[in-house]
Structure 1
Amino acid sequence: MRIGDGSAARTRETSGEVVVPPSGVGGVPTGSTSNIAHIGASQATADGEVARTQALVRLARIALSRADALVREEAGSMRARDEAAAGLATARAAADAAQVQRRLLGPSVGAMSNQATLWVRVPVFGTDMGEVGRARPASIRPLGDATALPRSARAVQAPPSANATAGTVDLYFALDNRDRAYRVGQRVAVALPLGGTQAGLSVPAAAIVRDIYGGEWVYRRTAPNTYVRQRIEVASVAGGQALLSRGLGRGAEVVTDGAAELFGTEFGTPH
């Protein structure tokens, strides 16, 4: 096939980590570096505090009901009823605070692997933040598996986090995981959307073969039934077409169907 010009939306290839999203506003995502045993112990303590404050609310409500009944029967004081009302308000405030604190700890440890939606944490250099288009989804696929179908992930707001030593800022993307294809802590390849488009030479993605070191090659036709392996550099892949940043000239002919077989014949490796 003779290659020609093409264009594609600008993207930047990087990597990310699958994490558990927080269950409440302001919560912190749970990643592979989190101490799961410590989180589980904190959740158990928080669950107990929620139960305790809810019991206090029930007792305060009963006390207010009794004080109000005594006032209606002219057997109790208004002050006692007001104090009971204040006690109920205090108990409710404590219960609300306990529930908020529990939500900040995220879903239970046992349910972390059963989330229908997971987040992907992507460290981005601070100097590149302005180029990332947050209005467009990122593309996610398993790291090291170039043949896997990418999955779209939308940008989400999360508590600010960064690594001052590496100079990176964390971006988060929500990933549909109802089929349980991804696991917490898994490293993934991420194509971050950038502004604008880029032009270049376009070849079918099926024409590209990769060596064990990740090098990208195509087989260029130099004469009838004669093919030479040519090193290329892929800028982006979308819709089955790869946009090249260098390696081929306009009008070159490359092998599409059978590139893997040529690669296996050259190195003696079956495909």
Structure 2
Amino acid sequence: MALMKRSEKCMMRRRAPAAWGSAMVLFGALLTAACGGDAAKDAKPAPPAKVQNAPQETQLATITLSEQAEKRLGIELVAVERKTVQRTREFGGEVVVPPGRQIVVAAPVAGRLAAASSAGLPAAGAILQRGQAVFKLYALPPERDLIRTREEVTQAEIRYETAKQRAKRAEQLLKDKAGSVRANEEAQAERASAAEALKAVRGRLALLEKESGDVEPEGVTALIVAAPQPGVLSELHARPGQTVPTGTPLFAVMNADTVWIRVPVYVGELWRIDRSRPAEVRGLAVSAGNPVMQARPVAAPPSADANAASADLFYEVANGDGGLRPGQKVSATLMLKETQQALVVPWAAILHDIYGGTWVYVNTAAHVYARQRVEVRHLAGHLAVLSRGPVPGTRVVTSGAAELFGTEFATGK
């Protein structure tokens, strides 16, 4: 019995190291599997595309010119400078007609209208000169007395027939040498006067009975209604053949040789605007480098928009060529009271690519030029103010920059 217990103890001692070893092997396997899973999880998938040798803006092509080529292209260089420039702010504006520049013409008396020209009435939008006739106005008799006018026609017809017969007798007597030349002339003049009086009264009757339509009545003197100022026929309120009472608006003439630019400004920014300085006005489709129009500030009736929390500033600009139309939206660059230090280069040095990017050509060494991107913030006269560009002192090409651009892309001379 004692021998059997001793044998069991020996066997347990031999199995203990073997079991411990098996546990260690299992733990190692689990640890390896866990680490392998994390590594597989952290591995990045292969990219779908791989770009090699991508061009960098710092590695753009450089152009090396001979001395003769530089002279032929007319290359001129200017150094980039850091200057104190007036700060500006760009706002949206609207073209408006100044007060008093549009005149509405009304009928001075009641009457029937007719076109002043045989070509007809000018169309809206036509250019009129000062004093150019637009309408003829045939005045109606007072209170439009139709019965009295008909009586006047009857009396005028009788007078005309009487004068006609008297003139006929006087002419016959003169042929028979029984009358004088003077008596014949007086009879003929009386007949002509009676004929004109009959024509006039018949014309007035036609106006009253509205039988003439667009046809001008004979024998009635017309009032000429003309343009009071040179300009554009902006409104047309009546037509030929229409009967109008006194004071009826007939047409309007607008003179837009000088227009105002209304610029709404947020009231919180008003104190920053230098209202004594002129504004630069350009169309919305005009690029920043094209010539701009100078607009001077003018005193105008105060106006504001409470809903937009904005107040209006007004500027006057010449518009002799008619390029600005009332109601047109424009861009207005206003001067601020603040100044700033900024990089500046002549606007002639700026080039635009097909994507709207702005560039300059930098002189990196003797006869060597490289294209460098810049960002134009705004213009200050003939200078371009840069928000990003070459360091001060760097020489850039002003005259001949377009030729260098063409040379780089093999399209120049």
Q: The residue matched to 1:254 in structure 2 has which SS?
A: strand
Give the alignment of 1:57-72 within 5 angstroms: none
Q: 1:204 and 2:281 equivalent?
A: no
Q: Say if 1:158 and 1:172, in contact at 8 Å, map to a contact too.
A: no
Q: 1:177 and 2:319 equivalent?
A: yes
- Specify the alignment match of 1:161 in structure 2: 304
Q: Which amino acid aligns with 1:228?
A: A
Residues 185/266 of structure 1: CA separation in 2 closer, same or farther (3 Å cut): farther
Q: Say if 1:8 and 1:236, in contact at 8 Å, map to a contact too.
A: no
Q: Which amino acid aligns with 1:139?
A: E
Q: 1:231 and 2:231 equivalent?
A: no
Residues 229/168 of structure 1: CA separation in 2 closer, same or farther (3 Å cut): farther
Q: The residue matched to 1:206 in structure 2 has which SS?
A: helix
- Let me know the Cα RMSD of the aligned residues: 3.4
Give the alignment of 1:1-271 within 5 angstroms: 1-23=78-100, 47=106, 109=235, 111-112=253-254, 114-143=255-284, 144-156=286-298, 157-162=300-305, 164=307, 167-266=309-408
CA distance in 1, matches of 2:99, 2:338: 33
Q: The residue matched to 1:18 in structure 2 has which SS?
A: strand
Following superposition, the deviation at residue 213 of structure 1 comes to: 4.7
Residues 241/51 of structure 1: CA separation in 2 closer, same or farther (3 Å cut): farther
Deviations 1:139-191 (CA, angstroms, capped at 9, x unpaired):
223332434333221223244133735x5443221112234343333333322
Stretches of structure 2 that go unaligned for 5 or more consecutive residues are 1-77, 111-232, 236-251
CA distance in 2, matches of 1:187, 1:269: 37
Residues 213/191 of structure 1: CA separation in 2 closer, same or farther (3 Å cut): farther
Q: Say if 2:304 and 2:310, in contact at 8 Å, map to a contact too.
A: no
Q: Say if 2:302 and 2:312, in contact at 8 Å, map to a contact too.
A: no
Identity across the alignment (%):
44
Query: For this pair of structures, how many residues does the alignment match?
Result: 196
What TM-score do you get using the length of structure 1 for normalisation? 0.59
Q: Say if 1:15 and 1:122, in contact at 8 Å, map to a contact too.
A: yes
CA distance in 2, matches of 1:186, 1:266: 41
Q: Which amino acid aligns with 2:380?
A: A
Q: The residue matched to 1:120 in structure 2 has which SS?
A: strand
Which protein shows a greater Rg?
2
Q: Which amino acid aligns with 1:111?
A: V
Q: The residue matched to 1:178 in structure 2 has which SS?
A: coil
CA distance in 1, matches of 2:410, 2:331: 30
Q: Which amino acid aligns with 1:196?
A: E
Q: Which amino acid aligns with 2:290?
A: A
Q: Say if 2:88 and 2:333, in contact at 8 Å, map to a contact too.
A: yes
Q: Say if 2:265 and 2:310, in contact at 8 Å, map to a contact too.
A: yes
Q: Say if 1:10 and 1:196, in contact at 8 Å, map to a contact too.
A: yes
Q: Say if 1:6 and 1:243, in contact at 8 Å, map to a contact too.
A: no
Following superposition, the deviation at residue 241 of structure 1 comes to: 2.0
What TM-score do you get using the length of structure 2 for normalisation? 0.41
Following superposition, the deviation at residue 135 of structure 1 comes to: 1.5
Residues 230/16 of structure 1: CA separation in 2 closer, same or farther (3 Å cut): farther
Deviations 1:186-211 (CA, angstroms, capped at 9, x unpaired):
33332201103222222111001223
Residues 172/205 of structure 1: CA separation in 2 closer, same or farther (3 Å cut): same
Stretches of structure 1 that go unaligned for 5 or more consecutive residues are 25-29, 31-39, 53-106
Q: Which amino acid aligns with 2:273?
A: V
CA distance in 1, matches of 2:336, 2:355: 27
Q: Which amino acid aligns with 2:400?
A: G
Q: Say if 1:19 and 1:184, in contact at 8 Å, map to a contact too.
A: yes
CA distance in 1, matches of 2:278, 2:350: 25
